[in-house]
Amino acid sequence: MAASGLKVSQQAKTDNAIGFSTGDKPSKSYSPSTDSERIYGNPDAQFYVIEYSDFECPYCKTHFPQMMDLVDSSSGNIAMVFKHVPVHGQSSRTESLASECAAEQGGNPAFYKMARAIFADTRSDGHGLATPLDKLAENNGLDGQRIIECVNAARPSAKIAEDVKEAARLNIQQTPANIVVHGDKSAMVQGSVNGTGLMQMMAQLAQGGEK
């Protein structure tokens, strides 16, 4: 899958340097489809964090498990949605396909289990996984041979391509990039941001900030 000309810098911002996007925003009253979107957490959460990420991005490797932990500790008030921005060549594309192939076997829970395993195992910066993909899948309760067959057939490529197009439309220039959505309000931060920074964004939106 080509990355549609999208080029993304992985140079991280300082953790709490919150910057808002000047590009397009998600639709008002964002309500992702549980059938097609990779949702983690309560689908009826007050806040959604849409994360644009690359499995080979070293900052994403750190950020992704922190986001899952933030959702887990939010008592159902925060959910996340993962979007693919595979810009580190074939390794990124293969890992994006593998995570979506996991979803074919077990839906969003399998996607997030495989995604977390990929981030933990990858050597980052395009160097790929340390563990053979089929073995990594089997270690996480999936059928490794089916994962390989699915990746080789590139069955989820259309979904990944749609994520890439969306990232380009939103002028995503860094990974990870996060859009925080609360009702009809949203704000974006590009580059590394910790849980405290995201909570500050949520508080601002709840108080009537950013449209």
- Over range 85-93, report the average pLDDT: 96
Cβ contact 186:210 at 8 Å:
yes
Please report the beta strands in 34-184, taking only residues with DSSP state E, as ranges in sequence order: 38-41, 47-53, 78-84, 177-182
pLDDT value at position 149?
98
Phi, psi of 110 (to 5 degrees): -70, -35
Q: What SS3 class is residue 4?
A: coil
CATH no. for 38-206:
3.40.30.10
> Domain coordinates of the chain in residue numbers?
38-206
What band does 193 get if pLDDT is binned at 50, 70 and 90?
A: confident
Instruction: Put residue 138 in one of left, alpha, beta given phi > 0 → left and psi -120 to 50 → alpha.
Output: alpha
Cβ contact 82:53 at 8 Å:
yes
CA 125, 85, 170, 181 dihedral sign is negative
DSSP 58: H
Distance in angstroms (rounded) separating the CA atoms of residues 184 and 71: 20
Distance in angstroms (rounded) separating the CA atoms of residues 32 and 36: 8
Q: State how beta strands 38-41 and 185-190 pair.
A: unpaired
If one counts every other C-beta atom within 10 angstroms of the C-beta of residue 106, the result is 16
pLDDT value at position 34?
56
pLDDT value at position 194?
87
Whether 102 shows a pLDDT value over 60: the answer reads: yes
Asked which of 7-16, 94-103, 127-136, 163-172 is least confident by mean pLDDT, the reply is 7-16
Cβ contact 80:110 at 8 Å:
no
What band does 211 get if pLDDT is binned at 50, 70 and 90?
A: low
- Over range 10-39, report the average pLDDT: 49
Whether 192 shows a pLDDT value over 60: the answer reads: yes
What band does 33 get if pLDDT is binned at 50, 70 and 90?
A: low
pLDDT value at position 14?
29
